[in-house]
Structure 1
Amino acid sequence: MNQNKISIIIPTFNAEKTIVKAIDSVLNQTYQNFELIIVNDGSSDKSYEIIEQYAHQDDRIILINQRNQGVSKARNNGLNIATGSYITFVDSDDYICPDFCSKMIEKIKETNADIIKCTYRTEWENGDGDNWYFSLGGCEYFSKDFIQTSVISSLLGLSNHNLVRWLNGEDLNAYYFACTTCYKKELIEQYNLHFNENLKIGEDLIFNLMAFYYAKNLAIINEPLYRWVNNSSSMTRKQDIKLNRYKLDCIKERQYLCNEFKLGEEYHQCYRNQAIMLGLYQIKYLSLLGKEYTFKEVVEELEWLFNQPLMAEAREQLLLKPIPLKFKPIFFLIKIRKHKFIFYVYYLLNKLKDSFMY
């Protein structure tokens, strides 16, 4: 294994419009001790041909071609052949700043951390965007105690305290993304870490939950070195009535890991609160799908979600006391199983809104 070499893994599926920018952002790094592993996940466009041309020109580029099996399988296949001492990921519709690798290596030399995270800038397809930063009071190095008390609970969901912060508009997705993270390969190999290939949403989060649980320390680079391009064709933005089933699968996996790691009750409350928020989001989301699906289909999907055992557990354990007063009524209605009433209100309001538009 090459000391201080970074393995950069890009899973690719039908990315002919964006893959060039992603690859060029890696090749233009000021730090050049890297290998670029690109996994073509059965693309039907010209992605493979574009990547192949790059691979012929630069022997640091390794191309893996697989039938379409999803982003997790693609990342895992990249992990299996990575030779760097540190590993990171870039999505094929995103890109990284020229000093991404150099600043990661600088922080590695300074801290010898198991995990290094930077921040990111969101960019819309029209070029607009926002920088995102950690709110950590200037500290940039953290021990296992901080990881166990703060990071793990954040990855599991929303603690009672963080639920209030989230309701008040704070962005608490700090540790979710694999693409803003550099992992020590020893950590991945020692604990046989891999991406869950059964998840359609949240595979980053679950990978990070396991990685952070085993990590001894964490270093933060509080700069937006990663560019997350908010692509309208992304799976998480498609009008799919089953979308929140995939999100519930991710919450169930958090529940499983919480039990596997034998974590305390306060950690279990995190994924329960996340399930409640998913339920509220599902109510609002389904109320907007009247044009794509029948009313009967929408109501059946809502009932399916709220009849899940995890949702019943979450309702039973929901604490109303810490909820801000203006949100209490809607959480109370969820707790007493009046989710259909909330849905009908949202649905009728949307119908009225539509009628006034014509």
Structure 2
Amino acid sequence: MLVSIIMPVYNGEKTILGAIKSVLAQTYENWELVIVDDCSKDQTHSVVKSIDDERIKFYQLDSNTGSPTSPRNFGLSVCKGQYIAFLDADDLWEPKKLELQVAVLERGYNIVCSNYSVFVDENEDDPLSYRQFPKEFNFRKMLRRNCIGNLTGIYNRDKLGIVLQKNQGHEDYIMWLELVKKGGNVYCVQEPLARYRLSPSSVSSDKLQAAKWQWRIYREELELNALVSSYYFSHYAFNVVKRKLF
């Protein structure tokens, strides 16, 4: 089965080559890499064009949108694969990522993710920490904690359809919530199959803003009442603190 990999990028000349090489190194070879450039001002386009592989598709938006949401949604609109995965231009995959996850999808699961490591800027071989999740979980568990790192998730498009991301904070989490609600239990490969780059400019590094986004999701996106929202938010906060301490 063809796997479509959606990669948004903006001014990614320093990191995108590593991201692409991690896709080229996949032991599962039936994939297309859909790179969508949000009008970069650096040499991103030249870096991509230097790689000669017909599985790599490059698109450039007409104007800068200021977030990865529109590039991802454009990629979703043009991709052709039965399975869909995501990788940002500054993150990395381990070589067996797709092979192991496609095998699980072919067993009947609609959504698969994995554990992953976190590294700081150029120290990709020196993990700062690891993100670990239950081997199997459902929608209610996802409300307590986002168990699907966007760089690790892959889902069956033929079964679940296309879910576009919304242009707001935690856009990937909202998308995965909708997919999990439709797709049932999620299987998480217990190996760290991806590496997430943490930098001072990372949007997700602003914990206070992230907490505000999380509360908004409960109250406005999911329309949960204040009591139920508080219950799930307490679990979210606990997991954030736990991650900091351990």
TM-score tier by shorter-chain length is: 0.7 to 0.9
Q: Is the 8 A contact 2:36 2:75 kept in 1?
A: yes
- Structure 2 counterpart of 1:286: none
In the alignment, what sits opposite 1:317?
A: none
Q: How far apart are the structure 1 equivalents of 2:49 and 2:190?
A: 35
Who is 1:112 aligned against?
A: 108
Alpha-carbon distance in 1 for matches of 2:113, 2:227: 25
**C-alpha deviation, 1:266, in angstroms:** 6.3
Structure 1 residues 148 and 203: CA distance shift in structure 2, 3 A = closer
Asked if 1 retains the 8 angstrom alpha-carbon contact of 2:91 and 2:151, the reply is no
* Cα deviation digits, residues 106-127 of structure 1 (max 9, x gap): 2122x21110011101112352
Cα deviation 1:54-112 (Å, max 9, x = unaligned): 2xx11111111012112011110011111111101011111101111111112122x21
1:221 and 2:194 correspond: no
1:195 maps to a residue whose letter is Q
> Which residues of 2 match residues 86-235 of structure 1 at below 5 A?
86-109=83-106, 111-125=107-121, 127=123, 128-129=126-127, 130-134=129-133, 136=134, 140=135, 142=136, 147-151=138-142, 153-155=143-145, 173-175=146-148, 177-189=149-161, 192-197=162-167, 199=168, 201-235=169-203
Aligned 1:250-261 pairs, distance under 5 A? 250-259=214-223
Residue 186 of structure 1: how far off its partner (Å): 2.4
Answer whether contact 2:139 2:185 (CA < 8 A) is retained: no
Aligned residues: 234
Kept in 1, the 8 Å contact 2:214–2:233? The answer is no
More strand by share: 2
Task: Mark the runs of 5 or more structure 1 residues left unpaired by the alignment.
Answer: 156-172, 282-358
SS of structure 2 residue aligned to 1:112: coil
| Higher share of residues assigned helix | 1
TM-score, normalized by length of structure 1? 0.59
- The residue type paired with residue 217 of structure 2 is E
Deviation per residue, 1:171-202 (Å, 9 max, x gap): xx433x2211001112442xx511002x1x31
CA distance in 1, matches of 2:217, 2:185: 24
Corresponding residue of 1:319: none
Where does the alignment leave 5 or more consecutive residues of structure 2 unmatched? 242-246
- Name the amino acid aligned to 1:147: N
**What CA RMSD, in Å, does the superposition of the two structures yield over aligned residues?**
2.6
Aligned residue number for residue 24 of structure 2:
27
Task: Work out the percentage of aligned pairs sharing the same amino acid.
Answer: 27
Q: Is the 8 A contact 1:96 1:226 kept in 2?
A: yes
Write the letter of the residue equivalent to 1:131. Y
Given the two structures, how large is their TM-score scaled by the length of structure 2?
Answer: 0.84
Instruction: Name the amino acid aligned to 1:26.
Output: V
